[in-house]
Structure 1
Amino acid sequence: MFIAKKQAFILGRLLILMNLFCSISYGQHRTISTDNPKLSALDKQVDKYVTQYYQDKRSVGVSIGIVKGGNIYFYNYGETQAGNKLRPDKNTIYEIGSTTKSFTGILLGQAITDHKIGLDNDIRDYLKGEFPNLVYQGTPITIRNLASHTSRITRIFPNMWERPEYDSLNPLKNYNKALLYQGLHKMQMDTLPGKKYAYSNMAVALLGTILEDAYGKDYFTLIQKYILTPLQMDNTMIRIDALPARRIAHPHDENRKPVPMWDIFYVPAMGALRSTTTDMVKYIIANNNEANAAIKLSHQRIFGTDEDGMGLNWFLHRTPTGHRVLEHSGGTGGSRSSLECFPELKTGFVILTNSLANRNQLEKDLASLLSK
């Protein structure tokens, strides 16, 4: 009797171990659909990096666009929605989140070139109403401060989540210019503007409304006129209602459950754009070439150092070999984006994902590969 019980106990432990091994094996070797041919050295390196990325169990789909040596490469993995077995492609629409801010920076460069806005002007020159609170010890917030995250404007105003209609899955839905200005009126400065970096979504949202007022046109109309149409970025948009579901990379939460895209329709400058890798490689090429005056102006450092500075809503760095890096990234409730351009090397990449999986190492690996 004792022997039988002991054998049963041992058998049970073995079954547990076998089940544990199988689950680990599946987690480490789950089959991920891809169009990567794995033929060239670049193909194989990208596949190696993406395989590591998929160790994060939150991962769903990822699309990568690379500019290198005068050529363009696209790599797609996973699914547009968990379980649908539909692989994304270079024309799949993803949220790009705060990478939108780099477009806002170029639009600001255009407004400066057109003499619509002065970089070092007091922002109150462009606001309706009185804002005595937007000064600290006699120093006002300037447009430069908005574009470099040195304004001291709060990252997010409390009235975003204090609204009765607030939806945590779509937090900026129906958050409009009136609410933005209401939050701005209540804000209190705590430091001299222009001295300290502190990332602020609200500052860039405000910059977007200033640009709209300067031109008398809505944000997307301006982006279309000055960036999207000239670069033939026909698949970059804010509203995607008319698109078929198969074209969309549906966002996912921590548990790989689909969640809504964020509708940032009324303060779009901070993160409303959706795009494809096809369009984003065009954007990389245009930023690398710097042929357009507004684009080139947006890359000029307005805060910090060459190794760690800010352009007009661009993060500026240097590679270990001293070459310039322009970058921005973005995140929403279920999507992530990373964009890096190396103007002197004429290389760059974009990573678009529809999950909350950590793509930081993938970003570092691609940056290292393309900046050599």
Structure 2
Amino acid sequence: MRDLQRFVSDYINGKKHLHLEIGMITKGEIEYHSFGNTQKKSAAAPVHRLFEIGSLTKLFTSILLLELECQQQLSTDDTVGKYIHNGKNDYLNKVTLKSLATHTSGLPRLATNLSSKKNRYNPFSTYTEDDLLAFLSDAVFTDQMGSFEYFNTGVGLLGYILCKVTDCTYDDLLKKYITGPLNMTETAARLNAEQNARFVDGHTSTGKKMPHWDSGVHEGAGAIKSSLHDMCLFVQANLNEDHPLASAIQQSHVPIMIGDSSHRYAWFSDTISDQEILWHNGSTFGFSSYLAINKEQSIGVVLLSNYCFGSASIVDEYLDAIYKFITKKDLYPFTPLEPVGKQILEAMTLR
């Protein structure tokens, strides 16, 4: 796309450590684009650099749920209480795996006993299985059940349950059911030494280098690292019905009724030029990601960035607030990645 530069110019401005990788998929054909710091040496070609994809992980966890149901290892209508054996909380006997995948269980965005004070820049690293079970033992959010409330807690719990049901690690499940069949060899929650060498540094929007996240028991909500190459394969699989995972993936696209509203397994929907798109985004304290597909035209887009939207530093937030109060301008303009991806997909739709 000759005019791609105009879509990314505002986003790349001022980001001296930036790696922005963009994949555009049209009827099975992939077009790769790379923007950012070309002066800095890298251990890998742009399409094979590894990024934290954050909440794009939730798409994988939902597909794992649906594939395990196809394998008759569980049901999406099973309750959490069926698998959390040390809990006598009746609320857990009402919450289903389906409600975890669709953000309708009533659970909060973050568990009430998760504190970022222990490690502000790596907030999930110290949260253990015992912490999760302690939270669930007296969690009661019955009044919010059926209503949409985006959360990490619930999908993290879903990933934890899937591992318990199968007696596998999250990476084992990914390799067996998704990354193996789709030949996504550069995608994992926990990286080996060779993969770590291709893992780029993440930054806040102010340019501050951030530590990589350790998701621990929340792996299912945001632990995956991947490359542009692999994420384009994932988009292709979502646009193609001729592969082993087609049934589960296609099922994740179909809206289901929960209460009076329709929801999907992890996906969000929007409209571009009167055509439906399915999308999701992801963010950690050093990375941003965006993925969207238009099934009607068989096109899709992936964006991976090693800058996040915003800053994890309280000092940055205070300085920005003071500067804005005095000058009426942002000291640190926080540019999100999603509008860039949506504009690119819209241009692909119209051409």
* TM-score normalised by structure 2 residue count: 0.83
The C-alpha deviation readout for 1:116-150, integer Å capped at 9, x for no partner, is 22222322122212342526xxx811122111101
The C-alpha deviation readout for 1:286-321, integer Å capped at 9, x for no partner, is 01113421112222212479xx95322222334433
What SS does structure 1 have at the residue aligned with 2:22?
Answer: strand
Q: Distance in 1 between matches of 2:41 and 2:206?
A: 18
Partner of 2:274 in structure 1?
A: 321
Q: Distance in 1 between matches of 2:23 and 2:112?
A: 37
The one-letter amino acid paired with 1:341 is: I
Partner of 1:97 in structure 2?
A: 54
Partner of 1:251 in structure 2?
A: 202
Partner of 2:115 in structure 1?
A: 161
- The gaps in structure 1 that reach 5 residues or longer are 1-41
Quick check: which has more Rg, 1 or 2? 1
Q: Distance in 1 between matches of 2:142 and 2:94?
A: 12
Q: Distance in 1 between matches of 2:135 and 2:194?
A: 34
> Equivalent pairs: percent with the same residue?
29
- Please point out which of 304, 315, 340 is paired with 1:362: 340
Shift in alpha-carbon separation, 1:56–1:162, aligned structure 2, 3 A: closer
Indicate conservation of the 8 Å contact 1:102/1:313, yes or no.
Answer: yes
The C-alpha deviation readout for 1:139-177, integer Å capped at 9, x for no partner, is 8111221111011111111322177xx211111114222
- The gaps in structure 2 that reach 5 residues or longer are 309-334
Q: Does 1:45 align with 2:27?
A: no
Q: Does 1:134 align with 2:98?
A: no
Q: Distance in 2 between matches of 1:253 and 1:296?
A: 35
What SS does structure 1 have at the residue aligned with 2:168?
Answer: coil
Q: Distance in 2 between matches of 1:311 and 1:88?
A: 35
Partner of 1:38 in structure 2?
A: none
What SS does structure 1 have at the residue aligned with 2:203?
Answer: coil
Indicate conservation of the 8 Å contact 2:12/2:36, yes or no.
Answer: no
Partner of 2:325 in structure 1?
A: none
The 5 A counterparts of 1:183-332 are: 183-189=135-141, 191-194=143-146, 196-240=147-191, 242-243=193-194, 247-291=198-242, 292-303=246-257, 310-322=263-275, 324-332=276-284
The one-letter amino acid paired with 2:83 is: Y
Aligned residue pairs: how many?
319
Q: Distance in 1 between matches of 2:258 and 2:142?
A: 20
Partner of 1:75 in structure 2?
A: 33
Please say which of residues 154-163 and 70-79 is displaced more in the overlay: 154-163
Partner of 2:319 in structure 1?
A: none
- Please point out which of 104, 111, 136 is paired with 1:150: 104
Q: Distance in 1 between matches of 2:232 and 2:257?
A: 27
Q: Distance in 2 between matches of 1:259 and 1:326?
A: 30
Partner of 1:112 in structure 2?
A: 69
What SS does structure 2 have at the residue aligned with 1:158?
Answer: coil
Q: Distance in 2 between matches of 1:299 and 1:189?
A: 27
The Cα RMSD (Å) is 2.5
